[in-house]
Every structure is written in structure tokens, then in C-alpha cells.
Structure 1
């Protein structure tokens, strides 16, 4: 049994309002007590209100319920497929947050759907043909900065440039291309919109101050970039 399937099984048992001991869970799933401790920590990190009763075991906080949502087998398979694709992302924060969200979603799967989704999970693989070893850990925080209009300070390194520049930015838009996440932001150093590859951000800090929305339009940005490219090409003829 995979860790995810075990976590969902533990959650199902907890939802029955039982008090479960680490030893009981260890014997039930044929794992060590230390593994049970790690499983409980995973559930807590995913937002499940697990309570430890001193000398008795684990239970759920009173009033905790899971929405009665029913997923079809095809819908469950779509989520499993999405998980494989997400795991190819170069941003570890995104992979982590999606995994925790999926743990919660799978907790409402019917047992038959869960069993088949685990079967599909073991029969699927996404090959990564990237030659570059690129990674980042900023996407989730930057997404929050975009939706909450927070200034961000970054140390940024351009391609083939050993120098790192400090930028204060207003984040507006993100997109992914060739497994690379790109952030479009207003850059105070350049006094204009600039595109930043998130994996080239060496360090970032989300500031508590909020900026005024400049009503950024990705369509206008693309049009402007296209027109500038045409002018450069015409000038080089």
C-alpha cells in the first residue's frame, strides 16, 4: 500500500470517531510506529485536525466533516493524471501544495474508486526529456502575492550572467512554457513590465505592503512585445 492510500485509510478510520493508537495502526498497516507518527504529521500538515489524546491515541476534532462530494472513476483518473503531470513541475512548493490538496480530495473517494485510482497510479509514468536541471521553490508564495497585491523583493540572475540584481516588483501574471514558470511583473529597476523565470530567482521576500493594481493585460503585453520584436527586426535589415 502506498503512503497516500494509507493516509486516506487512516483518515477514514478517524472519521468513524474512533480513538486509534499508534500501535494499533502499526499492526493494521504493517508499518513501524515511527511511520505512523510521520503519517499523522502528514495529515496535520494537510490541514486535517488530528488531536492526540494523552495516553489514549489519536482522534479528530469534533465537528470536522468532509464535504459529501462524489467523484466518478473517470474524474478520479483525471486527478491521478494531473498528479503525474504536476510532479514534473520544476517548482517544489507547487508539487507539495498539490499533493496535500489531493490527499484531502482522495479522502472522499469511494473505496472502489480509490482502489482503481491507486491501480492506475502504478500503471502510469510521465517521461521528462528536459536537458536542463532547473528547479524552484517560489511559485506558491508568488501566487499568493499576485492575488493579494503584495510587493515582492527578489534577487535575480539572468541567463549566462553571473551577476545577481536586486529588484522590487509588482507581480501580475504567471504562465508555464517548456516546464518553466514565467512571472510578468512591474519592475521598479526598469520602470516597466519585465518577464522573470521563477527558477532564476535566487531569493525572494513577500512584503506586507500592498500595491495599486495597474490593470495589467496579458493581451496588451503580448501585443507590445510583438510590435517591439518587429521594430527590432526591421531595424536590422
Structure 2
């Protein structure tokens, strides 16, 4: 779990107004007591009204609110449809993030929106190709964020197995499949890989920096110049 997500979860626990021991919080969050101490220091420094001390416990002395917002019924439907897509078509980390986003919005609304929006007439079902991508997506997303080169084994649509070193640039969802666009160091060109056809995916710990001609902006310019919007590309 990322630290920002853990901090949000800690605030949700503290919202009950009770005193919570660091050891209990650490056990619940599956981290060390020392980590909880650091997290509490961060919350206090950011202005969250948490009081307490090490060895005693922590308590939230005042409620925490999000800035007020007003959403229409259609906007709420759009939010829930987007969350439903993520929950069914993305990896576990993104699924949990979608739930947390809706929780934050729900807490900022005058009346809880979840009950009114349940069963609003839309169901999302993930294709097998989508589900087959879930285990690789966290590694790829992390590599994109941290600019880490990936070593992958890829089974092409023609049945050819290859090994590549790629600079992952972005992931795309096409309705029935997730793809990863990257700069392939073997082909010395951009390639789009279907994630469900990546049979092996390892972080190399080798970093890269964006270079003109090898970055996402260059790829997008080329893609939209060569392909009408309704067409797709694959390796």
C-alpha cells in the first residue's frame, strides 16, 4: 500500500473519535509501530487535528471534511460507471483506489450517495483478456512512474516468443484488452504490447530518462498522424 493511501486509511480509522494505540494501528495496517509514528507526525504536520503521543495513543479531536462540492445525478452516474469499470478492468491496487475515491466523495456529500446509486442499470464484466493482464499491471505501472526499464517475454499474435527490454511509457485500455506502449531497445522503435500476452515481466532496476524521439509525446504524434481514431495498433 502506498503511503498516501495508508494515511487516508488512518484518518478513516481515527474518525470514530476514540483513542487508538500505535501498536493496534500498526497491526491493522500491517506495518511497524515506527511507521505509524512517522505517519502520525506527517498527519499533524499537514494540519490534521490528531492529538496523542508515542506509548499512549492517538485521537482525532475534530472532524475532517473535504471541500464542499455539488454533483448532479448524471455526474454521480458517471462517477459510479467509471469506478465500476476500474473495479472490473484494472488490477487490485486500482480497484481499491476507485473504492477510496468514491468513499471520499460520499463523505463530502450532504447525503450518502452509495445507497441511491446502487443498481442504477449498468453492469461491467471483464473479458478474459482483461483479467489475464491484472498480475502484470502493478509492475508496469510502477515502472512507468519510476522510469524503470522492464525485461519482458512476449508472445505475439502469430505465436512467436521474444524477449525484449522496453521503456514503458503508458498503458491503454481498449475495452477487451490492456496494452502497454513502450520504446523497445531490441527493435529500436516504439511498440505496443498486449499485456495479456506478456508471459514474463521483470523490473531490471535500470532507469531511463525521456529522450526526444523516444518519449510518449513523440509516439502520440506519430500514432495520430498514421492512424485514424477508430484504428488500433499492436505488435
1:170 deviates by 0.7
1:195 deviates by 0.9
Q: Which runs of 5+ in 2 are unaligned?
A: 1-7, 31-35, 41-52
Give the equivalent residue in structure 2 for 1:142: 140
SS at match of 2:111: helix
User: Does the 8 A contact of 1:91 with 1:135 survive in 2?
Assistant: no
Give the equivalent residue in structure 1 for 2:150: 152
User: Does the 8 A contact of 1:12 with 1:107 survive in 2?
Assistant: no
1:117 to 114, 117, 123: 114
Q: What is the CA–CA distance in structure 1 between the aligned matches of 2:163 and 2:63, rounded to whole Å?
A: 46
Structure 1 residues 117 and 192: CA distance shift in structure 2, 3 A: same
1:178 deviates by 2.4
Q: What is the CA–CA distance in structure 1 between the aligned matches of 2:29 and 2:122, rounded to whole Å?
A: 28
- Which runs of structure 2 are paired with 1:50-129 in the superposition (5 Å)? 66=64, 68-74=66-72, 75-89=75-89, 91-103=91-103, 105-106=104-105, 108-110=107-109, 112-114=110-112, 116-128=113-125
Give the equivalent residue in structure 1 for 2:221: 219
For normalisation by structure 2, the TM-score amounts to 0.61
Structure 1 residues 11 and 165: CA distance shift in structure 2, 3 A: same
Q: Which runs of 5+ in 1 are unaligned?
A: 1-7, 22-36, 43-47, 230-237
1:113 deviates by 2.8
Structure 1 residues 20 and 129: CA distance shift in structure 2, 3 A: closer
SS at match of 1:194: strand
Number of corresponding residues: 196
Q: Aligned Cα RMSD in Å? A: 4.5
Give the equivalent residue in structure 1 for 2:166: 169
